[in-house]
Structure formats: C-alpha cells, structure tokens
Structure 1
Amino acid sequence: MSYLECKFRLNPFEPYNEIIVAQLSELGFESFAETNDEVLAYIQLAEFNESIKNACSEMAFQGVEIAFEMKEIPKENWNQKWENSFEPVLIDDFCIIRAPFHQAKSDFKHEIIIEPKMSFGTGHHATTQLMVKLMSSIKIEGSKVIDMGSGTGVLAILAAKMKASQVDAIDIEEWAFENIQENIERNDTLMVKPYLGGAEVLNQMNKTYDVFLANINKNILLRDIPLYDLKINKGGSLLLSGFFVFDAEELVLFMEKMNYKLLSSDALQDWSCLHFKKC
C-alpha cells in the first residue's frame, strides 16, 4: 500500500495550519505532521482522485501564501517520516503523550504511549489537548466512561489511567479499531473495550455512562447527540470538541434545548471544547 504526501507551505503558518488539517480530514486524509512552516498530509494513493487534488490545489485563505506540492511515498518509508516529525505532547504536568521511541519522563501524572502509524490522534491536535485538559478537571475515578470517535485511543486510555470503573471506545474506522487495540496493550489498560462502528453501536449496548467523550466534527455531533443522550446518566458529563470556536454557540443552543447545562468552555488555536451536564 502506498501513500501520497501533500505538502502545504504556509505564510503565515498559524492558525491556518489547524484549519487546513480540519479541511483535509473531511477529504479523507488519514494523518498529518508539521514542520516549521509546512503541513504534511497523508492519504492512501488508492483513495486519492482528481476532485481531492483540485480541492488541495485550490485551497486559499485571504492574506495567506500557500505553496502546494505532492509526492508518492512507498509504505516502507512512511512510518520513518512520522518518527522524524513526532514530538511528545505535554499537557501541563498532568499528561505526556509520547511514542515508544521517546525517552520516558517521570514528572507527569499520566503517561500515554502511542505508536505513530499514520493515524490521526497522536495528541498533537488542539482538540485532543483540550479534551485531555478538561478531563484533568472532572471526576473520572469510579465513573463509567465512553470515548466516541476514539481514534488511536488517547482519551479512552487516559480515562483508564485515571481509574474509571469502565471504559468503552467506539470508532468507525478499521485502522482505528486495530490501532487502539495495540495501544491498549502498550499502555497496560486492558479494561478499555473497543468497538468498531458509528453511533449505531450504542443501540446495541445495554450500558449507560457518567462521562461521555466526543471529539468529532460539528455536523456529526449535531446528528448523533440525540443518540448519545440516551446513554448518558442524569447528572452525567458530556465533553465535546472537534469544532471551531465560531461553531460553539450553535452547539450550546442545541444542548440547552436538550436540557443540558454548559459548565465550562475552553479554546486553543481557534478550536473549542465544551463541558455539559445532563440536567
């Protein structure tokens, strides 16, 4: 299997690097890396087509210079590219997210080890960092937790390390389902139970949760939150991210109509994170 690397050189770089990643995710790109002034995006060559190529080459923002180029990368080379660009992610002194080839650090409360296999969810994205930070401020110990759209499993694994009583993780992508199983073993968090599928999997589960985590784009959240609601215990927490700050108000109004109270909000690099309580 070969991958295509699409390189976007940006001037200025921030915050447009995060915006490009969000847009490319919608086009089917599987993973991303960054250098000083470049976003590197990867997609399976078999999935790439003229429509995606045009969308990439026509990407533009007012006042931003974008240079776009692409090249094919044989499978045997792409993990090495990740290792060359993957740096540990530090969230205060609460959590470090690192790869196996990084040196272990003992001055963090929690350590999560993720193998960088061209997968979105290594902790570098602002939304993951926002969710981790928010999790540090709420009661996880003894709670029943679910991670919807779990990706590599960072949030689910963290919940297990925070002594949740039960942790489930759902993702619709097969690569994520396979990768999270590897990362569960790597982090010795075998209590995390992964499921393959979308929100419909919830209908097959005779379970409810105290903490519901969903780091997914806005449109999917608006579509699936009514299903999430059926699985959240009264007084339980719903943590949402995966959307821009300018989309937050729409989600807040939507949740208020469903009898949820906004407890807190946070933002990083134009991305938003919201914490709701089910009334």
Structure 2
Amino acid sequence: MPWIQIKLNATNENAEAIGDMLMEETGALSVTFLDAKDTPVFEPQPGETRLWGDTDVLALYDAETDTALAVTQIQASGLVAKDFAYKVEQIEDKDWEREWMDNFHPMQFGERLWVCPSWRDIPDPSAVNVMLDPGLAFGTGTHPTTALCLEWLDGLDLTGKTVIDFGCGSGILAIAAVKLGAAKVVGIDIDPQALQATQDNAERNGIKDQIEVYLPQDQPEGLKADVVVANILAGPLRELSAVIKGLIKPQGALAMSGVLDTQAEDVANYYRDELVIDPIKEMKEWCRITGYKLS
C-alpha cells in the first residue's frame, strides 16, 4: 500500500505537542520522533544549511491524503513558525524497502538504461549505466514512480535536447537524461539537500559539469526545455501546473509521476488546456502522465 510522509523540524520542547496535533487534527496514521543528530541523511556538509531542528517529526499518511491541507493545519496550530521547514515525500512499502536495502541489484529500465549500485558488477558495459547508491534523497529506481519515468526517458531520443528534472531529488532522472544523450539538464528542487544529492551523484557518474541545479527562486529567467519530467506528488502537480507548463517549449514533452491511479485523471485535466495527453500508464497503483505541448 502506498504512503506519504511529512517530515518537519521541531525542538525537544515542542515535538510531543506537535506529534499529538498531527495525530488528532491532520489524520496522521503514525508519528515518529528522530533525534536530528542520529539522522545522517540530513546532516549538512561543511558550508551547507541544515533543514531540520533538534528533533525530526515524521508523520505517515495514506497516499490519497491532501497534504496541502495537512500543512495548512500544521501552520494554523500555533506550534510551528509560519515559515517552518517541512518535506513531503513518497514512501516505499517497508518490507520491500528492507529487501531492497539487503539485496539491491542492477535494474534495467526500457531497452538501454540500467541503474547499478557501486558494489555490484555492471551487467552490460555497453549499455547506458547510471551508478547510484542509497544516499541523500528519494529516488533510486525501486519505486514505481521513478521506474515509470526512467522507462519513459529511455524511450525518447534526447540527443541535443534540453531536459528539466522538476523536483530532482537524488538526481537519478537528470543523470539518466545526460547519459541518454541530452545536451543540457537542469535539476530544480525546493530542498537544498536534494540539490546537493544531485550534484554528488552526478559527480560519481562523471557528469557533474553537465547538470545545473537550482532552487526555484534562483532558476534562470525564461528557462524552458524540450523535455520536462516531474516526479513529485499529485498536490504540487495540480498547484504548480501553470509553472510546469511554462517550462515546456512548443512541441516539447512532459512526464509526470508521483500520482495514484485514483488521482491521475484529475491531475491530467490541469494540463489538457496546453498539452495533448497520452494514455495514462499505471504500475502498482502509481501512474505516469505524459504528453506534448501544442504550441
């Protein structure tokens, strides 16, 4: 069963009250507290800005939950600052995730593309190989949403194209696009740690100079691409539809994922005014929406 997690920063003094509020007012199915000092996934490198406070509060929700409403309820509680730091992300099934961590192996997507952990032999040296280990941010290819986007990218001719990875996370889609022939790739994410993860993973793949990364407020003015891929969630895909459509060149292609099968048609309708939408592709309750811009 798919899940969504909201992670937010707290202090030792207010974490418990925030946890109670998340359970009672926002419909969280469970709440977990983590000592930030024991959470290396968000530990900053020298010169980086840490996102979280002394205690990280993790609230788990059914994937159909309106997380925008939950965030609004958190803001209205008076327990957090108005501009509090938080992160919304998809969560893999826990049994599946444990199996992956214990037995992560090279995975093929489409005809040419492989994602390989560094400790395994590359099955096909002549293929397009992305080297990626468990790291700073979501996205290693095991989740259906990432797999759907990788499969789509593999089926495109990206030679000479400009690609935007909107919500780049680990950078797996941006790195795959470069290795599949894209001339220029731009990763955009609201999370500075995701930008760091993308750069680190690009460096491990020997292509750091071929990927640019930006926070949304810092991206170049008038930025547009031949191909845009956005593996985020249904809520942001609806709320940011005008922004995402504005990034696509005329006749350019778009792929979106992070959408449940019950949400896909509604999300697609936000894009039909400017795009021709393809048949929606489903994998294990998650969907990929693709299309191309008319003009």
How many percent of aligned residue pairs carry the same amino acid? 21
- Give TM-score scaled by structure 2 length: 0.68
- Give the match for residue 101 of structure 1: 119
Equivalent positions of 1:174-193 (< 5 A) are 174-189=192-207, 190-193=209-212
Contact 1:82 1:116 in 2 (8 A): no
- Give the match for residue 182 of structure 2: 164
How far apart, in 2, do the equivalents of 1:103 and 1:131 lie?
24
Q: 2:230 aligns with which of 181, 198, 214?
A: 214
- Give the match for residue 104 of structure 2: 87
Q: Structure 1, unaligned stretches of length 5 or more?
A: 1-15, 30-42, 61-67
Matched residue SS, 1:178: helix
1:235 partnered with 2:251 = yes
What is the CA distance between 1:138 and its match in structure 2?
2.2
- Give the match for residue 151 of structure 1: 169
Q: Structure 2, unaligned stretches of length 5 or more?
A: 43-97
- Give TM-score scaled by structure 1 length: 0.71
- Give the match for residue 244 of structure 1: 260
Look up the equivalent residue of 1:152 and give its one-letter code.
Answer: S
What is the CA distance between 1:269 and its match in structure 2?
0.9
Equivalent positions of 1:1-279 (< 5 A) are 16=1, 19-20=2-3, 23-24=4-5, 27-28=6-7, 49=16, 51-52=18-19, 55=23, 59=29, 74=38, 84-85=101-102, 87-88=104-105, 89-106=107-124, 109-189=127-207, 190-195=209-214, 197-198=215-216, 200-202=217-219, 204-256=220-272, 258-279=273-294
Matched residue SS, 2:135: coil
How far apart, in 2, do the equivalents of 1:45 and 1:138 lie?
47
* Aligned CA distance change for structure 1 residues 77 and 185 (closer, same or farther; 3 Å): closer
Number of positions where the alignment pairs a residue of Structure 1 with one of Structure 2: 233
Look up the equivalent residue of 2:277 and give its one-letter code.
Answer: L
How far apart, in 2, do the equivalents of 1:77 and 1:229 lie?
32
How far apart, in 1, do the equivalents of 2:199 and 2:32 lie?
34
Look up the equivalent residue of 2:156 and give its one-letter code.
Answer: I
What is the CA distance between 1:209 and its match in structure 2?
0.8
How far apart, in 2, do the equivalents of 1:247 and 1:77 lie?
30
Contact 1:145 1:209 in 2 (8 A): yes
- Give the match for residue 6 of structure 1: none
Look up the equivalent residue of 1:194 and give its one-letter code.
Answer: V
Contact 1:95 1:108 in 2 (8 A): no
Matched residue SS, 1:172: coil
